[in-house]
Structure 1
Amino acid sequence: MTDRTAKRILIVEDEFLVALHLEDALTGMGHQIVGPCTRIQAAMVVARERSIDFAILDINVAGTPSFPVADILRQRSIPFVFASGYGLEGLVDGYRNEIALRKPYDLEELRGAIIRIFPELSH
């Protein structure tokens, strides 16, 4: 992947091993990682202030929903996907049309979600 197609991806995930695995997978795909953020307040600051192309948001981060982070990303027109052990069932009204990966997701599911948002990466 060239620097032009590499994306800056925010990871919001409170489980250390899941975040580490996700970071390894994404860097292996050629992307740059922002975070990971393990708390919603920190993620909100990063979502507001940092240069991000895409985000992966655990729906429940240390007992707090990540929807406020999603709201900031929407305001900035930054695409994101949710990740949850509940899959689509974990989404609330206003977010039901978003992509949600069911944990544990595999590398191809993750790659597919990114390509749906950035079709130019399929080459």
Structure 2
Amino acid sequence: MDSLTGLRVLVVEDEGSVALLIESMLEDLGCEVAVSVASLTKALKAAQTETLDFAVLDVNLGGELVFPVAEVLRGRQLPFIFSTGYGRVGVPETFKDYEVLNKPYTIEDLRATLLSMFNNGRSLSDA
């Protein structure tokens, strides 16, 4: 996969300005932000019910960790990346095979990480 155009994404980010920046970058890459949420409860509901192609998950949502959402997405065979200031050390071993994008990042970093995610076996055909 070399294009992100038209892909529906779930954005989970609790910092409003950061969420807007991520959404803007994704839209500039051609993605459609299907839903953007700031809490674990809303993220879980969206992960269970929304029609998505992938997700961008902040690890820490106001003190709650996003890993239950990651479990739901993994169960649905939907690809996702972690977006975090903690780096890989903030992600449990159970998610070691998933991409981690360290904040702050550029649109080029986001694009490269997403393309790597899709080209490393987590393509839409697997979903």
TM-score (norm. length: structure 2): 0.87
2:105 aligned with 1:111: no
Greater relative contact order structure (CA < 8 Å, 6+ sep): 2
Distance 1:88 1:19 in 2: 20
SS across alignment from 2:34: strand
Partner of 2:78: 78
- The one-character-per-residue Cα deviations of 1:66-99 (angstroms, maximum 9, x if unpaired) are 0000000001000000011111011112012211
28-37 vs 17-26, greater mean Cα deviation: 28-37
- The one-character-per-residue Cα deviations of 1:39-79 (angstroms, maximum 9, x if unpaired) are 01100000000100000000001110000000000010000
Instruction: Please list every run of 5 or more consecutive structure 1 residues that lacks an aligned counterpart in the other structure.
Output: none
Aligned residues: 117
Q: What's the % identity of the aligned pairs?
A: 38
Matches within 5 A, 1:1-123: 5-119=5-119
AA aligned to 1:72 is V
Q: Which 4+ stretches in 1 moved above 2 angstroms? A: 117-120
Distance 2:86 2:79 in 1: 20
AA aligned to 1:107 is I
- The one-character-per-residue Cα deviations of 1:14-56 (angstroms, maximum 9, x if unpaired) are 0001000011111111110022110011000000001000000
TM-score (norm. length: structure 1): 0.89
Distance 1:96 1:111 in 2: 20
RMSD, aligned α-carbons: 1.5
